[in-house]
Structure 1
Amino acid sequence: MISARQLLPLLVGAAFGTGGWMYGSRGAGTSTSGNGATADDRLRIASEEIELLQRENESLRSLAQGGGEFAVPQEMIDQVQEDYGLEFLASPVVHMVAGEELGYRIEAAIESRMGPQGIDDRQEAFQRIGWLDPGDKLLEQLVAIKSVGAKGWFDEESGDAWVTDDFDLKNIPDQAVLLRLLVRVLLDQHFPDSSVYPGDDAARAKEALHAGAASGAESRFYAANARAIGFLPSNENSAAARLLLVLSEFIQGLTMFPAMEGKNLADTLYVKGVEEFSDGMRNLPESTFGVVFPNAEKRGGKVDFPEIEDEIYLEESAGYLGIRLWISELGDVGIAEQVARDWSKDGYALFADGEVSTGLMWKVEFQTAGSADIFQEAALQRAGAMAGLESAAELGVLIEATDGRFFRVERISETSVKFVNAAKRDTAEL
């Protein structure tokens, strides 16, 4: 996919090329027009060419600036403020953009949010852990699930909302989209992200609550319309629904978490009243575990990697959600939920392992030895499968994959397990 910053210079160059061709034609026409064309003809041709260039210039400006702003009806602004007992700190900005351009904007926002090399490091780390298969493209999947068939999108980086150029407020589903976006803008203004990226698991928790609250507003809007007009208009994005089925199970899980667990918690806070809702948004769960179990004692914490002496590119936590998705891919969702619920803390590190490759070390700690046992067996199965073996790996035994990589699963305490995917033999034995 060509990024927006790459696409615009190409289009500008094409416009200049077209303008040059037209200018040449106009010059040629002028040199011969004295033989047949009248002054009126020459003026008409010049006016048409100027109009065409102006349209092209407006198109390029629209591409660069987002296609202008969409005028949000005041009654919708008032409705959102009344529902949540909060006022917009600044007028909500909703841009309009061509549908085919939305994906480029989403791509740029994701890359910006992750920082330099951030998405590339996660692509590699997620494959080393086993959340993604070798052919899966993380960025492409994240962009696709947010853009395919979408009528609107909220940009967490800028706090602005976007609607596509086929958006029409006469349609009830489009009204619902705008309402959802306005809720996201309102919550972002009052409960913004910190200036420092909090880490993937904490970011997923925040996204779950904000997106879940917006989904709740959308659902209530549809319910109110169903009572008023006697039926429920379809709000299904069929293209996105079909796409979700073919994406990796990990991306499916990330996508559904805000729509399910995030919405459940946001709805619970909403029905308790304005003060409870605002307090919940002001004191967001710091992990995906906290989204699912908001009344449980906080879990998580820093995991150290003193054995890694080479440069560490990325340190992150899988968290409750990452553990659950990792185990559920082995086939038993119930067991995955059971083990993830017993998660205490975890951390993984993607690090330099040789001149041109990377290694991945993941340490996971549970509340009980029983959950560590189950996770250990899952890790042994995963290591064996990733190494191309027909059977599971053995605890503490180094195995070499068919592609030359090395895997090892180690029990580092009664309740803790370590999983290593390395490029070098001695690294896997750390």
Structure 2
Amino acid sequence: MSGIAAVDVIRAKRDGHALSDAQIDWVVDAYTKGVVADEQMSALAMAILLRGMSPAEIARWTAAMIASGERLDLSAVSRPTADKHSTGGVGDKITLPLTPLVAACGVAVPQLSGRGLGHTGGTLDKLESIPGWRARLSNQEFLAQLQDVGGVICAAGEGLAPADRKLYALRDVTGTVEAIPLIASSIMSKKIAEGTGALVLDVKVGSGAFMKDLEQARELARTMVRLGKDSGVTTVALLTDMSTPLGLAVGNANEVAESVEVLAGGGPSDVVELTLALAREMLAAAGVDADPEKVLASGAAMDSWKAMIRAQGGDPDAALPTAAHTEVLRAESAGVVTTMDAYGIGVAAWRLGAGRARKEDPVSFGAGVQLKVKPGDRVAAGDVLLELRTDDASRIEAARADAAAAIKIGTAAPASAGLLLDRIA
């Protein structure tokens, strides 16, 4: 017997005390094994949200989450490894063009991704809109593809940080998602356990992100960079704007199509800018000297993409799903688009069927929003602002209201801080 009781750990944090290493090790292990009940971990998560954790507590909590499962060994992969993690946003399809681009530059990218929940999209949902593509790979398949193709985007295996999988689901239904110690340890336990040598974090800031506030985002970024470095992973974070959706496509198949445009040398300028910025950071962190802009222009990243999709059973040339119903939203007055709120557009896409309310819900691959304008664009009365796409026409009315409320038209172009807000290393 450990002599530690869950209620004592909860009380300690509730009253603002630091948890001991022994308390943290015990409670994470006991929760993973079902000894600590969900209601007890819910209470502890809320106490952590309200009281916070010291850097030493967060480091120990992260280590305990990693220790709950297996660690992948990527030492057999002949190239240096680097990964990217985004804290999630609206239209954030960057993993799709970025992974094959960095792989084409000579770095192996072990990208373990997730599914969408609420207004933010999930990389696996997007890729599953490609006919035949599968998200689940065995560890052997994962390593073989990393070696042969150079890039893998797949679901994390059951054995990787199981404590996190259990706690993540609990946080989502108990109002504790925003706790910085729990966000940082959740992300970093999985990324450290996957065995990557370098990690670039894309910490989103703005209405469409978890972090609405720049200072909060900086705190999260610093916490994660410190956790990575302490575990021997070269880690850097970029803080990027998520007040406006990324690109023009929001929704699963929509975003795949836009990613392929980028790989073909086109696509929206903001998606290209962020893809290249993150690629440069990943290459620098992995110690590889290559110019991602030249590699993108050469078509090598597109070759990489097709090889990655084929390796996981997908057909990169197959037609993508399309929605049964399309309806447009038009400008009621002339002027300049001053605001296109990422959260509102994300909720509209979710209402159309692109996202899920509960993790077991299905998604509609063709559903989503296709933007026709961005902030700063001039419009005339009657111009199309966006398209709403869905397989269920009854969803359009509510989505239209959210989309309309997200767009503001004024007389002057909005001031912009740009896409890249800060860098923390």
Task: Judge same fold: TM > 0.5, yes or no.
Answer: no
TM-score, with structure 2 as normaliser: 0.24
The structure with the greater share of residues assigned to helix is 1
TM-score, with structure 1 as normaliser: 0.24
Higher-RCO chain (CA-CA 8 Å, sequence separation at least 6) = 2
Of structures 1 and 2, the larger Rg is shown by 1
